[in-house]
Structure 1
Amino acid sequence: MHLLPTQAEDLLASPQAEDLGQTPADCVLLSFSDSDLSAVAAAYHGLGDVPWRPTLRLANLSRLGHPLSVDLYVESVVSRARLVILRLNGGAAYWRYGLEQVAETCSTQGIPLAVLPGEAKADPGLDAACTVDLGVAQRLWRCFVEGGPENMARLLALAAHLAGCPAPADLAAGEPQPLPRFGRHQGWMSKRTDGGPPPGKAPPWSSTDPICRPAISQPCMPWPTRWTGAAWRPTSITRPA
């Protein structure tokens, strides 16, 4: 057995000051969500070397919990940006000092600032910190809420426009496209060639569910699905031909 190296962490410990060591860029995106950051990073690289692509810096707000970390980052990166997008989970209270410092710097230096909710529910309490038009901020927020590569590319085009880069007008002005709330996931295929796992080991409720009852009597090919929301219920089972 191999034991992974671990490091003891005190969940109640105060955040430690650190310098992220980032250099200035045209656009700065700050979020508590690694999903936000990775989605934007993937879309950014997917654009290729288009002439309107701005330089970009991404940072997770969990690394900017100490006031000194905030001060260093605001001075070295935020104050030199041409656009700052800040997405806050849980509202302003979760990063109050950071929000105050970023908002003051952007307001004083005339840097466009979009402060967006980190959830799919609007938060009017963040609007006062925005220096961009609230309609524009809402479009940026909806790009995150809807998700998907096309909406992330649209977000980057709109960000480039706000930062003064000549992004394509149709892409920057386009509305975020809603994605289906559920559907079949196309990015994964089963590696099994024998029709799937052996019968049995089905969930306890499947014996009374007409949809899942076949899983008990014969092998089934897995069919991964995606969905949004807390409720989950299988919608289909594909039997091997």
Structure 2
Amino acid sequence: MSTVLLLSTADTDLLAARASDAAYRIGNPTRVDVREELPGLVEGADLAVVRLLGGKRAWEDGLAALKAAGIPTVLLGGESVPDAELMAESSVPAGVVAEALRYLVEGGPDNLTQLARFLSDTVLL
């Protein structure tokens, strides 16, 4: 299975990913040093999912670093409603981003397992 980097300001996302059957690397972007830690998290990841409270401005340096890394990226707001600005910055189709948000809003380890499978099947194949 693919390795998904999940960076979320929602600890429930991170806990569910850890408990899932998928290969996640996890971190809270507010606690990840962009210069020191982010490159190690990105290395070997097949794609990144970022869920931010506060929108794009909450982690501009990190988003720029992910974009420069060149891996497919799903950018989401931290609320249950879509953040159009972040979604537009994603490197995958809007429908994939919207579906990823649905999995995260529903939450839980099973949905995070299914999210990783969905992204692997739709983005990486």
Q: TM-score range by the shorter chain?
A: 0.7 to 0.9
Verify the 8 A CA contact 2:73 2:92 in the aligned structure 1: yes
Structure 1: 5+ residue stretches without partners: 1-24, 45-52, 165-241
Please provide the CA RMSD for this pair.
2.0
1:37 and 1:149 map into 2 onto residues whose CA distance is 10
SS in 1 for 2:34: helix
Match of 1:141 among 71, 94, 101: 101
Q: What residue is the counterpart of 2:26 in the other structure?
A: 58
Match of 1:122 among 60, 68, 82: 82
Q: What residue is the counterpart of 2:9 in the other structure?
A: 32
Equivalent positions of 1:93-112 (< 5 A) are 93-106=57-70, 111-112=71-72
TM normalised by structure 2 equals: 0.84
2:50 and 2:31 map into 1 onto residues whose CA distance is 14
SS in 2 for 1:57: strand
Whether 1:73 and 2:46 are equivalent positions in the alignment is: no
Structure 2: 5+ residue stretches without partners: none
Choose 1 or 2 for highest CA Rg.
1
Higher relative contact order (CA 8 A, sep 6+): 2
Residue 163 of structure 1: CA displacement?
4.2
Query: Aligned residue pairs: how many?
Result: 123
Distance 1:27 1:153, change over 3 A: closer
Equivalent positions of 1:1-241 (< 5 A) are 26-44=3-21, 53=22, 55-64=23-32, 69-106=33-70, 111-161=71-121, 162-164=123-125
* Larger fraction in helix: 2
TM normalised by structure 1 equals: 0.46
* Larger fraction in strand: 2
Verify the 8 A CA contact 1:36 1:144 in the aligned structure 2: yes
1:129 and 1:123 map into 2 onto residues whose CA distance is 10
Q: What amino acid does structure 2 have at the position aligned with 1:58?
A: I
SS in 1 for 2:63: helix
Verify the 8 A CA contact 2:17 2:24 in the aligned structure 1: no
Verify the 8 A CA contact 1:83 1:113 in the aligned structure 2: yes
Moved more, 28-37 or 97-106: 97-106
